Chains A and B, each alone.
Chain A
Amino acid sequence: MEGLKVSDANLVVYIHPSKAGKVSQSILRELSTLLFKYNEIFDGVVLAYDVTIQNKNAKVLPGIYPCFGVKLKAKMLLFSPKPDMLLEGKVVKLGKESLHVIVLGFSSASIAEEDIREEFRYRIKHGEEVFASTSHKRHVIKVGSMIQFLVKSFDEEILHISGSLIPVNTGSTKWLHKNMEEGSMVDRKKKRKDDRSEMHEHSTELLDDVGFSLKNEGRPKKSKRQRHAEQS
């Protein structure tokens, strides 16, 4: 799936002096305020982070509350869908006029009737509402299926995607995987598959860690490179 990227970031987190006894906890808390919000600087929605404290020394910011700035190096998992990207999501609601999908469990997407290609017709099969392909019998989209769709636009505030099923390489992922007939599709899919598997590894790894402790917290990094803070 496109739209996921891992970025390296140099951060400085300013901590209130009252939290001087529990620095890592307050760093995590501060960074967790970034989660699931679109961040302009990172150009994406922060999904997960992996943080290492660069330096035990922190600069004190003069002021009424002398907060001290801890320099960090972080790997951020970002979600930034751009128009014409292909995303995957699970169908949660299906109606004659629209299709509602949830991507990565947190971002909602909707595909309007006019953005679904002619190939798909709304039917009721065995009491269930589906979009069935008229050209390929087994190509069916129903509630619970994973589909691949094209991004039309992305609302950064509510993280809502407006999608489209017009292009040929969109539709039910199960069917698209199985269908290896078209050569160009195979190549593109293979490349996307590789990217996707890499992304999945990354994301699952990082998503696992985020819930618990910092991965490298406490363990000194082998290469100590001093980087200047790009970001405050």
Chain B
Amino acid sequence: MGVELATDRPGFYEMVDVDVSDSELVYHVRDALKSVSQGDSDHYNQLIAVMHYTGRLAPDEVAMLVTSLKALSGSISYIDIIHHESLLSSIFGMSMWNYGPDVMDALVELIISLAASNGKFVDSCLDMLVRNFMPPKSYLDLLGHPRGLARKHEVLDRVHSALSHIADLVPLAPMRLTPIILQRMPHMFDKEALIVIYVESMLLLESSALGELVGSTMLMALVDRLIDLDVEISWDDIIHEDSGKGIFDMELEDVDDIIDHAEIDGFEHPRGTAGSQILGTNAVADKLDSLMVLICEHLKSCADGERLTKVFETLLQSFWVTVLNAYKSKFSQFVMFYACSLDPEHCGERFAVFLADIFVCRTHPALTRMSAVAYLASYLSRGKFLPLSLIASTLKRLVDWCLEYCHVQNGEEKTINLEAHRVFYSGCQAIMYVLCFRMRSMMDSHRLKSQLLHMPLEPIFCHQLDPLKVCLPSIVEEFLRQAKAAHLFTVSETFLFNNLLESDLSKAFGGMERLDMFFPFDPCLLKKCDRFIRPSFVYWSMVKTTYDDGEDCSSEEDINEYFDGNGKSYMESGITRSLDEHDLDLDEFEYQLNKMSITPRNSLKNGLIFKLENPFRMPARIRPSTSPESL
């Protein structure tokens, strides 16, 4: 193959004759490399110059680059890590995104050969390939266009096949690869497009042949990143989590004012730090949303490839280590929800059993157990795909545990130390919560009805420890109402909760963390990943209660109307509709809200720009935003 001289750029091949064979080229390059240690770096520097060709390359420049790279591949053993440091750093600094397929192929060939030839180069080669997961910053905007997408496929195909080639030649490479990937992971405040494209590669690795070795680390790192982003979305910056309802109410009023300002300004530059934080967290929510979409899609492909069970084990492990103990994770847990929905038989059951095991095990810290049972209660209530038999058996486990606990508590205690029994109260509240959602369906099934009627609920709830007084009033009220209609048991006292927003007692057992008001699987407010969750999610309005005889039809209609074709979240649509129809009739609106969620009354803080629902926050009224776009 001949080489054409590049006349406009002073090149490496000026000294060389026009018709040069490949092997002669290789000898030429070898000479250039060898002569560096002897002090003569002219040809060497020219070679480096070729590596630095940037911008749109003319065909002859491309040819020169390709042949230089190929010649270098043939001279691997002559490359010395110390003498040829600048050449090596030039090669490792090249970004495949800047070149066409020919150059990409030659470069990849060189990288693979370098990695295989000498152990010292392995880390740098892997690092170079991992850096090529992401395009140069300037390229990010092009990714949306077909040309950019085509280039992306070209690059990533080659990068991943290079990684698997290197793993074939250097079996221990995956071990070195893992820390490099974790190190190079974009920071959570980096651009969303950058994070997304990197995570795509991580997930590709997980499903590739290398996935056996690096897959679990990838997944765990991803869940960690989800939690990092999740934690950034918080109310803490805006609303202080102090005790005392009064202060809280006032602060919420302030938020309303901030929102009003933001609306007026058109969300451009809200005044004050709190306002800018509203917009700041919006970006974080979007990043979290995108990552969750990626992970959900990946899980779907795992399920299709029948790998889900294995991947689920890693997820479960990650959930336990990261999510369960994270302070009130907002949305990250929906990844688990979705995974369970893909395989209710194995994964769905496994998750429920896993959570129940943590709850009943005495060696776990109390907060972990309370958190686990909160997850369990919310999961059993919201999972449409869960078989009633599983729910019933898990419920039975909880009931048995609570009963056992009651038996152990003996003696007359004048004043009950609520904190000491907090695990018990959280268990009781969990039982009530699940029954609020599932009582009707269980009563409708003959077998489960008898099972339910035989459950020793009365001794638990009427015990001296008095869970009915301590647990969250809204839940207790709904539960008793349904229990009465189902003739589950007789309660002598009538519990009247006159607009009690919360019980101080429930706050006492919930502790500083307010785990009494933690309902992790309440409707997901992230726009994009909601479409994965919605089909398997039980919304409160879908639930038939035991006292719900005549209203069945209307609630069905409501549901159909509330599900928008646009994929707007249920809450959004509901609010829009209610707003359109009822013209900001607040009482009606509240009623709608109440119908939607069992979580404490008036607790939904809808109408805010980033649509956050914080049921674990103290309930208060918030005027919903008037414009649908802001929802």
Residues on B with beta carbons closer than 8 Å to the beta carbon of A155: 118-120
Among the 9-residue stretches B168-176, B279-287, B390-398, B460-468, the one with 4 or more Cβ atoms under 8 Å from chain A is B168-176
Contact of A96 with B by CB under 8 A: yes
Q: How far is the CA of A113 from the CA of B23 in the complex (A)?
A: 13
Please state if B172 and A100 are interface contacts (CB–CB under 8 Å): no
Given contacts A98-B113, A100-B116, A110-B118, contact A158 B77 (CB under 8 A): no
Binary per-residue interface labels of chain A (105-123) against chain B in the complex, 1 for a CB within 8 Å, 0 otherwise: 1111010111000000000
Contact of B122 with A by CB under 8 A: yes
Binary per-residue interface labels of chain A (198-228) against chain B in the complex, 1 for a CB within 8 Å, 0 otherwise: 0000000000000000000000000000000
Q: Which of B26, B113, B170 contacts A108 (CB 8 A)?
A: B170
B27 → chain A closest CB, angstroms? 12
Please state if A110 and B172 are interface contacts (CB–CB under 8 Å): no
A107 → chain B closest CB, angstroms? 7
Binary per-residue interface labels of chain B (140-178) against chain A in the complex, 1 for a CB within 8 Å, 0 otherwise: 000000000000000000000000000011111001100
Contact of A196 with B by CB under 8 A: no
Residues on B with beta carbons closer than 8 Å to the beta carbon of A110: 116-118
A216 → chain B closest CB, angstroms? 30
Q: Which of B77, B116, B119 contacts A114 (CB 8 A)?
A: B77
Q: Which of B77, B169, B175 contacts A97 (CB 8 A)?
A: B77
| Interface bin, chain B | 20 to 34
Given contacts A155-B120, A160-B119, contact A112 B172 (CB under 8 A): no
- Which residues of A103-162 are within 8 A (CB) of B? 105-108, 110, 112-114, 155, 157-160, 162
Please state if A106 and B171 are interface contacts (CB–CB under 8 Å): yes
Residues on B with beta carbons closer than 8 Å to the beta carbon of A96: 74
B224 → chain A closest CB, angstroms? 22
Please state if B171 and A105 are interface contacts (CB–CB under 8 Å): yes
Q: How far is the CA of A96 from the CA of B74 in the complex (A)?
A: 8
Please state if A160 and B76 are interface contacts (CB–CB under 8 Å): no
- Which residues of B174-201 are within 8 A (CB) of A? 175-176
Contact of A77 with B by CB under 8 A: no
- With CB as the reference atom, state the residue of chain B lying closest to A104: B171
Residues on B with beta carbons closer than 8 Å to the beta carbon of A92: 168-169
Q: How far is the CA of A108 from the CA of B119 in the complex (A)?
A: 9
- With CB as the reference atom, state the residue of chain B lying closest to A21: B363
Residues on B with beta carbons closer than 8 Å to the beta carbon of A107: 171-172
Contact of B75 with A by CB under 8 A: yes
Q: Which of A108, A112, A113, A159 contacts B169 (CB 8 A)?
A: A108
Residues on A with beta carbons closer than 8 Å to the beta carbon of B117: 98, 110, 112
Report the tally of A-B residue pairs with Cβ distances under 8 A. 60
Residues on A with beta carbons closer than 8 Å to the beta carbon of B170: 108, 158, 160
Residues on A with beta carbons closer than 8 Å to the beta carbon of B26: 97
Please state if B116 and A108 are interface contacts (CB–CB under 8 Å): yes
Please state if A108 and B75 are interface contacts (CB–CB under 8 Å): no
- With CB as the reference atom, state the residue of chain A lying closest to B168: A92
Q: How far is the CA of A188 from the CA of B228 in the complex (A)?
A: 62
A113 → chain B closest CB, angstroms? 7
Interface secondary structure of A, over-half rule:
strand
Please state if A93 and B119 are interface contacts (CB–CB under 8 Å): no
Binary per-residue interface labels of chain B (473-512) against chain A in the complex, 1 for a CB within 8 Å, 0 otherwise: 0000000000000000000000000000000000000000
Please state if B169 and A93 are interface contacts (CB–CB under 8 Å): yes
Given contacts A100-B116, A108-B116, A112-B117, contact A159 B172 (CB under 8 A): yes
Residues on B with beta carbons closer than 8 Å to the beta carbon of A102: 169, 171
Residues on A with beta carbons closer than 8 Å to the beta carbon of B73: 97
Contact of A42 with B by CB under 8 A: no
Q: Which has the most chain B C-beta neighbours within 10 Å: A97, A100, A157?
A: A97
B523 → chain A closest CB, angstroms? 39
Q: Which has the most chain A C-beta neighbours within 10 Å: B74, B169, B176?
A: B169
Please state if A158 and B168 are interface contacts (CB–CB under 8 Å): no
A1 → chain B closest CB, angstroms? 17
A99 → chain B closest CB, angstroms? 10
A39 → chain B closest CB, angstroms? 15
Residues on B with beta carbons closer than 8 Å to the beta carbon of A68: none
Please state if A158 and B172 are interface contacts (CB–CB under 8 Å): yes
B375 → chain A closest CB, angstroms? 24
- With CB as the reference atom, state the residue of chain B lying closest to A106: B171
B126 → chain A closest CB, angstroms? 11
Residues on B with beta carbons closer than 8 Å to the beta carbon of A108: 116, 119, 169-172
Residues on B with beta carbons closer than 8 Å to the beta carbon of A175: none
Q: Which of B74, B76, B113, B119 contacts A158 (CB 8 A)?
A: B119
Residues on A with beta carbons closer than 8 Å to the beta carbon of B120: 155, 158
- With CB as the reference atom, state the residue of chain A lying closest to B165: A93
Q: How far is the CA of A182 from the CA of B108 in the complex (A)?
A: 45
Q: Which has the most chain B C-beta neighbours within 10 Å: A105, A108, A157?
A: A108
B217 → chain A closest CB, angstroms? 15
Q: How far is the CA of A7 from the CA of B120 in the complex (A)?
A: 29
A-B contact pairs, 16 of them (CB 8 A): A36-B175, A92-B168, A95-B113, A97-B26, A97-B73, A97-B74, A97-B75, A98-B117, A100-B116, A102-B169, A110-B116, A110-B117, A112-B76, A114-B77, A158-B119, A158-B176
| Interface positions of A (Cβ within 8 A of B) | 36, 92-93, 95-98, 100, 102, 105-108, 110, 112-114, 155, 157-160, 162
Extra contacts, 18 of them, besides A95-B113, A97-B73, A160-B119 (Cβ < 8 A), are A92-B168, A93-B116, A96-B74, A97-B77, A98-B116, A98-B117, A102-B169, A106-B172, A107-B172, A108-B170, A110-B118, A112-B117, A113-B77, A155-B120, A157-B119, A158-B122, A158-B172, A159-B119
Shortest beta-carbon contacts, A-B, top 3: A160-B119, A158-B119, A155-B119
